Structure 1
Amino acid sequence: MPPRKAAATAPAASRPSRAVTKRKAAEPAEAPISKKAKAAVKPAVATSKADPAAEKGRKAPAKKAAASKQSQPAASRKTAQPTKAKMSQSTAATPAAPKETGRKRKAEAEVTAAPPAKKVKPLVKGAVINEPPTERLNIYVFGEGSSGELGLGTAKNAVDVKRPRLNPNLAADKAGIIKIVAGGMHCLALTHDSKILSWGVNDQGALGRDTQWEGGLRDMDAAEDSDSEDGDDNGINPRECTPTAVDFSETEVAEGVRFTDVAAGDSCSFALTDDGRVYGWGTFRKGDGIFGFTSPGNVVTRPVLIPDLKKITAIATGSNHALALDSTGAVFAWGSGEQMQLGRRIIARTQTEGLTPRQFGLPKGPKNGITQIASGADHSFAISKNGAVYSWGCNNFGETGIAAGAGEDNACVTNPTIITSLNGQNITHIAAGTHHTIAATEAGECLVWGRADSAQTGIDMDDIKKMPEDAIIRDAKSDPRIIMIPQPVSEIEGEVSAVAAAGDQCIAITKGGKAWSWGFSSNYQTGQGTDEDVEVATMIDNTAVREKKLTGADCGGQFGLVTERVLRN
């Protein structure tokens, strides 16, 4: 069979959409990969639109629209009061209006009467359907920290961390973290006593609290790249870079409720309760700017209850969309749907309907309902009780695992579709970056597919070139660009139990407690100590983690983290 070519207009290289990187993009974007580049930085886990690697910076905080003078009610003018003499003259000249009686008077009274105030019922805790994790974690961080993403505080050495470093602010015996997730340029952590901590970029309310600071701007080029423990204050906003509790003071939460999970996108954040409610804050973005959160164009700076979601058991986020799984196995999606990542067709005229969580074409019920959900930047996944893996969303590089349209401009899988190449693989865990996907099987195998021309897969390029022609799509130079059929990452030693991805990087955790990483590393987000691409899966090894049994990982736009379980609640 002749080699399969990518379309001439196939989307060009795009770097981690979750955040802007230091390195210039290798090639211009060819596909309309609509995602934000989180202003100077942070499209998080995420945009599939433009390549954020082209420049480094920080997006300016959204400015609150100043109310125009015209929009303010004019001051009511006081009518000149007649003098006592004029008053008596006026009243004498004008006969008093006759009193109205009977039905007419009664009708007017009924119309003008103010309705009685409605009593607002307080939230009452429902039946417990979710339990929080029970083990406390030590958190090891690495990568870009110039905007506080690593949560290391204001020390100068918190800017670029080349290899894993224990975060003392999040130590198990101090913070009691039981769950942590990375967004594009911010993180959320759930503590053993049901607090939610946040840190990183707060430009559009992603941290759920006030981070205003009187400090000045700093010169990032003057910052020293160092792993030294010495260093002066780095000028980062201390209220952003220090893990601090999300502000629920103005949010109604039922008495006795505990939080059990958290999820973070580019500029949006979510928290799940033990009785299945979901709270959220921040905003969703689309290609031309802010899309909204609870209504078009708005930014929510403090947690709000999402009323359409009840009895939810799991939440997941892409760059600018979210998924929720309920106790019946039904899945809801909401947010930006420009790449069909909501599992239903969204047109311009009705795009704001995407802000309301809705079910779509996935099976539900006791036999075939969904048991697990996951998301990449602009594509998503669901695993059913019978083991089928569904995907939908952006498919420019075959990241959904569906062949249709892969390698073409504007390729999308509109409705949930079964990935037939995964049938019988017993997938236990899925994670995804901007244009590639990684999965772990019940047997401990690590599989990858999607974009493969920039070290995203962890497979040696010489081995990719030897793959069957129906398994890959080549570029105009006949070099492999896309892996169409899931392939094993054979370089990993040991069975894989957990996977993480964002942008163009991945991390896999083995059952033996070792972390393997690969991909784009210009900001040290692989934890390998290099700013060059890590083309083949390589074990993360330094003194901080060498003797540790690692159990989890997550990836942000320009940073990463691994976790170690050390204490039980």
Structure 2
Amino acid sequence: MHAIALTKDNRVLTWGVNDDKALGRDTTWAGGVRDVDAEDSEDDDDDDTGVNPRESTPAQIDNGELGPDDIICKVAATDSASFLLTTDGFVFGWGTFRGADGIIGFAKDIRVQPTPMLIAPLQDITDIACGSNHVLAIDANGKVWTWGSGGQFQLGRKPLTRHGGPTATLQPQPCGMFGKKHYAVDIAAGSYHSFYIDNQNQVWAWGLNNYSQTGHYDDTGKDDAMILQPKLVDSLKDAGIATIAGGEHHSVACTKDGKLLTWGRVDGHQVGHPDSLFTEDNAVFDENKKPRILLRPTAVPHLDTKFVAAGVDTSFAIDAVGRVLSWGFSANYQTGQGTTDDIEVPTIIENSAIRSRDIIWAGAGGQYSVVAAEYESDESPPVNGK
């Protein structure tokens, strides 16, 4: 329930919920809140909504342990923490990690970290990716590091020691054996599952698998189905995956030749296929004969895709001409389609604000989504922030 953005002049802006210091800055506000039950509530100032403007307005993070010469190249967010990557390969973060029983902590002796802190022992990191409460990082040698909550085996490794306790997973560690012959070239994370693509362009996945969101079929349909460590995804073997993204219980990918592939949970139209697609051969059905899981990564026809993104139950694809399509759960309008009805199949967002824009990026949180367009230098300056 928060967002993080990196500007071209090396500023990091955050906004949203700051209960666990995920914004990386002080948002203390002395303003009052409107009592909606008060008898005179109709006479209250319409602008006094009870929202803390220091949270809801994008603002620059505190420096914390960041130095004046640190140049930032990537930002990413979990549910309750935020992270950034510098051009010289260091990772900084703030906030906290949560598990099934509440706050785990941010580091071994830190419950909640309010401002940017260097994440040791990470060095020479080239990319980061975040799930709901875990983080992946890939270094210059193609080694994948993970840390955070590991309750669904989304870290792909055992804790540091048998007696390390719940905070043992907060220390970054490699999630497998990597070397000159086998190394990672890309990483991605769903809410509780993870991916990397190796130097042979094969996909490896692990973590929660109750809806086959990893692409594996192990114990599909069972609540406690989990892939304990990185495992080659046979269903994506030789698919030529260019980009992959995970939602909560589904995943999406685009191939190097522009195909859009989806799989996993289907009851909120997360996979973007019509009900007529699902058969006994490719799906799992419930006792009422309704489809629950699309097992095999399946192409959505007639799309030339260059980018994919996934929120909890909502997904996005950008096509070759810069149009953005969305599908899935839309109860909070997070599909951008102007409706609270689920969007069954990938549908172009026909919104006047972006209709003539070249969309270059999309992302989604739990109940909201964001798209970014190519900046046009001859645009008029914003008026009243719009």
What residue number does 1:463 align with?
Answer: 277
What residue number does 2:316 align with?
Answer: 507
Matched residue SS, 2:165: helix
Deviations for 1:96-116, whole angstroms, at most 9, x for unmatched residues?
Answer: xxxxxxxxxxxxxxxxxxxxx
Q: 1:251 aligns with which of 39, 43, 65?
A: 65
Q: 2:52 aligns with which of 228, 237, 246?
A: 237
Deviations for 1:471-510, whole angstroms, at most 9, x for unmatched residues?
Answer: 21111122211111101122xx541111111111111111
Deviations for 1:111-139, whole angstroms, at most 9, x for unmatched residues?
Answer: xxxxxxxxxxxxxxxxxxxxxxxxxxxxx
Question: Structure 1 residue 345: deviation in Å?
Answer: 3.2
Question: Structure 1 residue 532: deviation in Å?
Answer: 1.4
- 8 Å contact 1:291–1:297 — kept in the other structure? no
Judging changes above 3 Å, is the alpha-carbon distance between structure 1 residues 348 and 484 closer, same or farther for their aligned structure 2 residues?
A: farther
Are residue 338 (structure 1) and residue 162 (structure 2) matched? no
Question: Structure 1 residue 235: deviation in Å?
Answer: 3.4
Matched residue SS, 1:189: strand
Judging changes above 3 Å, is the alpha-carbon distance between structure 1 residues 511 and 233 closer, same or farther for their aligned structure 2 residues?
A: farther
Distance in 1, Cα, partners of 2:234 & 2:305: 22
Distance in 2, Cα, partners of 1:408 & 1:542: 40
Q: Please state which structure has a larger fraction of its residues in strand.
A: 2
Are residue 564 (structure 1) and residue 380 (structure 2) matched? no
Deviations for 1:66-92, whole angstroms, at most 9, x for unmatched residues?
Answer: xxxxxxxxxxxxxxxxxxxxxxxxxxx
- 8 Å contact 2:33–2:48 — kept in the other structure? no
Judging changes above 3 Å, is the alpha-carbon distance between structure 1 residues 425 and 330 closer, same or farther for their aligned structure 2 residues?
A: same
CA-atom RMSD, angstroms? 1.9
- 8 Å contact 2:104–2:166 — kept in the other structure? no
What residue number does 1:217 align with?
Answer: 33
Between the two structures, name the one with larger relative contact order (CA 8 Å, sep ≥ 6): 1
Matched residue SS, 1:402: coil
Letter in 2 for 1:245: Q
Letter in 1 for 2:236: L
Matches within 5 A, 1:66-105: none
What residue number does 2:380 align with?
Answer: none
- 8 Å contact 2:244–2:252 — kept in the other structure? yes
Judging changes above 3 Å, is the alpha-carbon distance between structure 1 residues 538 and 221 closer, same or farther for their aligned structure 2 residues?
A: farther
Deviations for 1:495-549, whole angstroms, at most 9, x for unmatched residues?
Answer: 1111111111111111111111111111100001111111222110021111111
Letter in 1 for 2:174: Q
Question: Structure 1 residue 213: deviation in Å?
Answer: 0.7
What residue number does 2:220 align with?
Answer: 406
Matches within 5 A, 1:107-506: 185-218=1-34, 232=47, 234-248=49-63, 250-253=64-67, 255-295=68-108, 298-346=111-159, 350-362=165-177, 364-464=178-278, 467=279, 469-490=280-301, 493-506=302-315
- 8 Å contact 2:260–2:303 — kept in the other structure? no
Distance in 1, Cα, partners of 2:305 & 2:36: 38
Larger deviation: 264-273 or 536-545? Answer: 536-545
- TM-score normalised according to structure 2 size: 0.91
Distance in 2, Cα, partners of 1:366 & 1:426: 21
- 8 Å contact 1:494–1:512 — kept in the other structure? no
Distance in 1, Cα, partners of 2:76 & 2:268: 27
Distance in 1, Cα, partners of 2:136 & 2:192: 12
**Percent identity between the two aligned chains:** 46
- 8 Å contact 2:357–2:374 — kept in the other structure? no
Distance in 1, Cα, partners of 2:69 & 2:336: 40
Letter in 1 for 2:223: D
Judging changes above 3 Å, is the alpha-carbon distance between structure 1 residues 368 and 478 closer, same or farther for their aligned structure 2 residues?
A: same
Letter in 2 for 1:274: T
Question: Structure 1 residue 405: deviation in Å?
Answer: 1.0
- 8 Å contact 2:120–2:172 — kept in the other structure? no
Deviations for 1:402-421, whole angstroms, at most 9, x for unmatched residues?
Answer: 00111012110001011111
Q: Please state which structure has a larger fraction of its residues in helix.
A: 1
Distance in 2, Cα, partners of 1:459 & 1:522: 19
Question: Structure 1 residue 219: deviation in Å?
Answer: 6.3
Instruction: Select the structure of larger CA radius of gyration.
Output: 1
Question: Structure 1 residue 232: deviation in Å?
Answer: 3.8
Matched residue SS, 1:566: coil
Question: Structure 1 residue 351: deviation in Å?
Answer: 3.0
Deviations for 1:242-277, whole angstroms, at most 9, x for unmatched residues?
Answer: 1111000x4252x52201100101001001001000
Distance in 2, Cα, partners of 1:512 & 1:252: 38
